[in-house]
């Protein structure tokens, strides 16, 4: 099982350039974001098995990344394949939706 | 075969899990599409007994989830995809495709936000329209925002936003502001909440980047349209039961989609072995403490059902 990676402006491009990534934009003040985090944490093995590597972006610390992806509502979840943004979800997403997005 | 599966992990579901676990029926608590339920969006709770200092909805539901786990409930951060609730064995298919079988079910499905009517069911989110002030308020620091709604939840959100935004235009469809006196007083004392009675957001205007620049407010008396320079529109138009999963299951719903309870003061639904609690049964009050109490009732009703349908000699 691969760990959840803390993504920053410094490592974002390099980290997400290969493979399929689920990137979770969140903040500590946002209750639903923390529950989204729990859906991801508790199902990390299933997400990894579906081929997803998982990264998190704290929008408080990473305002530049939030602006780059026009994040105005959190949680926002991105699916990035080999560096290309292929999907952007707004609001808490269920495991089933994330597994489907990995395909 | 499980004895009890609880769908939903807001105050009703968590309390049901605590009571069931203590009755010796170690339940599975399916956390559902939003673990903790809509209460996780509430910035500050001051009316839940036992918490004299304000507590956030996240912290309160997180404590409930931890309490359920401590008592032995098995919390799974998954959702049901389909339900077969008739018969003595209930079948629940999860969102990863796995199947659970159980003898009893507690439906604590909660509520969801009513969408802006002009947009129908397709919720426009993430481009300046938000259904969660605690989630998104911080993106609008020192900017003007509008909030559509009335009642306790809307007032709470307006007060939360007023601490971040430069001004909050509160668009109230009714002729009067409604809510607990304590919140009404705080809103009237606020220097940057501007209340517009008998209005609704009729339209929004965005710039070339898709960012919201204006909310067009309609005066419901005169039909006049008034543009407000706002960067965000928050929606708090009330709640509807989150019961779409129940269509074609045989569970009786009322015209508005709330689960019908079939026995006075109890939590029995139209199907034996299926119980319901919380906001999905409650068109009127929608309070965390009431949801929690009904969750306790549902667990006790499920325990009775299991006892009565297992070994009748041990009844009472």
Task: Note the pLDDT tens digit of each residue in B6-17.
Answer: 999 999 999 999
Query: Does the pLDDT value for residue A2 go beyond 90?
Result: no
A55 vs A1, A6, A32, B10, CA distance in Å?
13, 6, 17, 27
In the prediction, which pLDDT does B119 show? 53
- The alpha helices in chain B, defined as continuous H runs, are 11-22, 57-70, 133-136, 152-162, 181-189, 288-308
Q: Is B136 in the active site?
A: yes
pLDDT recorded at residue B127:
78
Cβ contacts of B130 on chain A, cutoff 8 Å: 72-73
Q: Which of B59, B86, B96, B135 is catalytic?
A: B135
**Segment B1-24 mean pLDDT:** 98
pLDDT above 90: percentage of residues in chain B = 90
B42, B58, B132 ranked by CB distance to A34: nearest: B58
| A5-101 is classed CATH 3.40.30.10 | yes
Instruction: Answer yes or no: is pLDDT of B294 > 80.
Output: yes
What pLDDT is recorded for position B207? Answer: 86
Residues B217, B146: contact at Cβ < 8 Å?
yes
pLDDT band at B206 (very low <50, low <70, confident <90, very high): confident
- Is the pTM here over 0.90, yes or no? yes
For residue A99, list chain B residues with Cβ-Cβ distance below 8 A: 95-96
Tell me, what's the ipTM? 0.93
pLDDT at B123: 43
pLDDT average, residue stretch B136-147 = 96
pLDDT band for B118, please (50, 70, 90 cuts). low
Spacing of C-alpha A88 from chain mean position: 9
Q: Which CATH architecture has domain B117-236?
A: 3-Layer(bba) Sandwich (3.50)
Residue B121: pLDDT band (50, 70, 90) is very low
Pick from B95, B125, B132: CB nearest A95: B95
Check CB contact under 8 Å for A34 and B209. Answer: no
- pLDDT for the residue B210: 80
Q: Which of B14, B136, B280, B282 is catalytic?
A: B136
Where is average pLDDT lowest: B14-28, B119-133, B247-261?
B119-133
DSSP letter string, A18-77: SSEEEEEEE-TT-HHHHHHHHHHHHTHHHHHHTTEEEEEEETTT-HHHHHHTT--SSSEE
> What span, in angstroms and rounded, lies between the C-alpha atoms of B41 and B48?
15
Dist CA B136 CA B144 (whole Å) = 13
CA-nearest residue to A67 within chain B is B139
A95/B79 CB distance under 8 A: yes
- Are A31 and B36 in contact (CB < 8 Å)? yes
Contact between B78 and A43 using a beta-carbon 8 Å cutoff:
yes
- The answer to whether the Cβ–Cβ distance between B138 and A29 falls below 8 Å is yes
C-alpha to C-alpha distances, A44 to A51, A89, B31, nearest whole angstrom: 11, 18, 16
Q: If you average pLDDT over every residue of chain B, what do you get?
A: 94
What pLDDT is recorded for position B313? 41
Catalytic residue list of A: 30, 33
pLDDT tens-digit profile of B90-115?
A: 999 999 999 999 999 999 999 999 98
- pLDDT above 60: residue B124: no
Active-site annotation holds for B280: no
- pLDDT single digits (tens) B250-289: 999 999 999 999 999 999 999 999 999 999 999 999 999 9
Residue ranges of the domains in chain A?
5-101
Question: What is B2-113+239-314's CATH superfamily?
Answer: FAD/NAD(P)-binding domain (3.50.50.60)
Delimit the CATH 3.50.50.60 region(s) of chain B: 2-113+239-314, 117-236
pLDDT tier, B120 (very low <50, low <70, confident <90, very high otherwise): very low
Judged against a pLDDT cut of 60, whether residue A101 lies above it is answered with: yes
Binding-site residues on chain B for chain A (CB distance < 8 A): 31, 33-36, 40-42, 56-58, 61-62, 76-79, 81, 94-96, 125-128, 130-132, 134-136, 138-139, 209-211, 232
Q: Averaged over B209-213, what is the pLDDT?
A: 86
- Flag if B77 and A42 touch (Cβ within 8 Å): yes
Q: Does the pLDDT at position B122 exceed 70? A: no
Active site residue B248: no
Residue-wise pLDDT for A13-66, tens only, equals: 999 999 999 999 999 999 999 999 999 999 999 999 999 999 999 999 999 999
Mean pLDDT of all residues in B169-191: 97
Distance from CA of A93 to the nearest CA of B (A): 7
């Amino acid at each position: 099982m691969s760990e959840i990676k803390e993504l920053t402006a410094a490592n974002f491009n390099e980290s997400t350039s290969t493979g399929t990534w689920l990137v979770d934009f969140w903040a500590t003040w946002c209750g639903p974001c923390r529950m989204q985090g729990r859906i991801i944490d508790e199902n990390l093995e299933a997400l990894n098995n579906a081929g997803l590597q998982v990264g998190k972006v704290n929008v408080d610390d990473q305002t530049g990344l939030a602006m780059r992806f026009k994040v105005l509502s959190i949680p926002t979840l991105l699916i990035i394949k080999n560096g290309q943004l292929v999907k952007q979800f707004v609001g808490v997403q269920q495991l089933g939706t994330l597994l489907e997005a990995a395909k | 075969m499980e004895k009890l599966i609880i769908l939903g992990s807001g105050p009703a579901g968590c309390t049901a899990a605590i009571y069931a676990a203590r009755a010796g029926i170690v339940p599975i608590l399916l956390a559902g599409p939003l673990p903790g339920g809509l209460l996780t969006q509430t910035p500050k709770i001051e009316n839940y007994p036992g918490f004299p200092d304000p507590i956030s909805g996240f912290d309160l539901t997180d404590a409930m989830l931890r309490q359920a786990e401590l008592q032995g409930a098995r919390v799974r951060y998954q959702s049901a995809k389909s339900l077969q609730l008739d018969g003595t064995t209930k079948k629940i298919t999860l969102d990863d495709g796995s199947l659970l079988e159980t003898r009893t079910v507690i439906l604590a499905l909660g509520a969801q936000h009513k969408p802006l009517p002009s947009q129908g069911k397709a919720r426009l989110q993430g481009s300046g329209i938000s259904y969660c002030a605690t989630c998104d308020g911080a993106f609008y620091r020192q900017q003007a925002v509008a909030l559509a709604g009335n009642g306790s939840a809307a007032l709470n959100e307006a007060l939360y936003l007023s601490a971040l935004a430069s001004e909050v235009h509160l668009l109230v469809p009714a002729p009067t502001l409604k809510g607990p006196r304590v919140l009404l007083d705080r809103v009237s004392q606020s220097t940057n909440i501007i209340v517009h009675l008998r209005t609704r957001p009729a339209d929004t205007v965005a710039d070339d980047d898709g960012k919201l620049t204006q909310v067009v407010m309609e005066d419901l008396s005169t039909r006049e349209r008034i543009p407000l320079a706002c960067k965000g529109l928050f929606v708090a138009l009330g709640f509807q039961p989150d019961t779409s999963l129940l269509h074609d299951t045989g569970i009786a719903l009322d015209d508005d989609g709330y689960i019908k309870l079939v026995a006075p003061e109890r939590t029995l639904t139209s199907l034996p072995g299926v119980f319901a609690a919380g906001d999905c049964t409650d068109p009127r009050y929608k309070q965390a403490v009431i949801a929690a109490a009904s969750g306790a009732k549902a667990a006790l009703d499920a325990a009775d059902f299991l006892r009565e349908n297992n070994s009748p000699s041990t009844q009472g």
